[in-house]
Amino acid sequence: MRIVDIRETAVALKTNLRNAVFDFSEMTTSVVAVITDVIRDGKPVAGFAFNSTGRYACGAQMRDRFIPRILKAPPESLVNEAGDNLDPEKILACMMQREKPGGHTERSVAIGTIEVACWDAAAKIAGKPLHRVLAEKYNGGQVIDRVPCYVGGGWYQLGKGVRGLQDEIRMRLDEGYTTMKIKVGGAPIPEDVARVEAALKIVSSSDNLAVDANAAFDRERALAYARALAPYGLRWFEEPTDPLDYALLAEVVGIYDAPIGTGENLFSTQDVQNLIRFGGLRADRDIIQTDVPQSYGIAQFSRTLDMLKKNGWARKSVFPHGGNQMTLAIVGGFGLGGCEAYPGVFGIFAGFADNAKVENGYIKLSDLPGIGFEAQDALYAVMREVGAAG
């Protein structure tokens, strides 16, 4: 068997949401289709993925380097020992040929997106949901059927205000979610504190509310927010510093006793290792939030988890960024702490199966082969179009 083609296109997210750092009005994402010569139901098996949200489409690197390397490789070098399925770990190694160490963000998103699409294809060829394939390979065969899920929301929007924020949270609780994350850092501290207090009145417990600063703060503002938020004991305080400013993060951790969440803007095992080595993080409470399709993909993520384990971190402390079907399958397969959700945000690229229901903060995993994009009609229509383009 072999990969016969890999196709990519950029799609606009079309949203006016804003966090503390930027708005998403120009945001795009790369959609990838990996076409194989395996025929099922009269059609070639194709694997799909997209590069999560928050990083722009990266088709140039794919088309110039990574796709040609895969298509030029001997087909037998990219499959498992039995020769009956793709081996994404070998495909990752193929893409990394002639790549200089470091400079991860220049290539990690492009490579990771293709790699996740290869996993989708491999799981479809095996006739299994991706979360089951991953559980069998990377989690000792411990297959689960549901995943804890929290809402990433509370965005800054013109005219929304505190009452609008409370209405949003009520709506999500009515949908079955129990935990909400809201944005901070895009308003003066007193205004953001008022938003936190208003949100707490709705969720009832500080353990059900997290905040996200999107790495917006310099030292003065990071420490000021840490002091202002510390009394509330929130579920976690996310990205209070620049992703690579480990010294400042350690300062924040030193005055903030409640959990910190960070790591979604780090794209390699080495960077996450430096984060826990120099950032002052505490394995008994803090949260690692690596975005898998943006970080070289699933095989490399398994190595990050191995590194974390050697340093005393449990898988339940890992909550990958990205409220989408890919992340849901990955969280379930590896047995991680939970998954983010973006209901009503980022159009077709957010959310899960069209008929998915959240019950007491949990969402059921797809039983379709692969990632389960087929259960998202609008998104799958775009992916099929990319796969059909010759």
- Which positions are catalytic? 183, 321
Residue 56 CB contacts under 8 Å (≥ 6 apart), including other chains: 26, 27, 28, 29
Spatial separation of the C-alpha atoms in residues 352 and 366, rounded to whole Å: 9
Backbone angles phi, psi at 48, to 5 degrees: -125, 155
3-state secondary structure the chain: CCEEEEEEEEEECCCCCECCCCECCCCEEEEEEEEEEEEECCEEEEEEEECCCCCCCCHHHHHHHHHHHHHHCCHHHHECCCCCCECHHHHHHHHCCCCCCCCHHHCHHHHHHHHHHHHHHHHHHHCCEHHHHHHHHHCCCCCCCEEEEEEECCCECCCCHHHHHHHHHHHHHHCCCCCEEEECCCCCHHHHHHHHHHHHHHHCCHHHEEEECCCCCCHHHHHHHHHHHHHHCCCCEECCCCCCCHHHHHHHHHHCCCCEEECCCCCCHHHHHHHHHHCCCCCCCCEECCCHHHCCCHHHHHHHHHHHHHCCCCHHHECCCCCEHHHHHHHHHHCCCCEEECCCCCHHHCECCCCCCEECCEEECCCCCECCHHHCHHHHHHHHHHHHCC
Residue 346 CB contacts under 8 Å (≥ 6 apart), including other chains: 13, 15, 24, 53, 323
CB 240 within 8 A of CB 247: no
> ∠ CA 24-272-142 to the nearest 5 degrees?
95
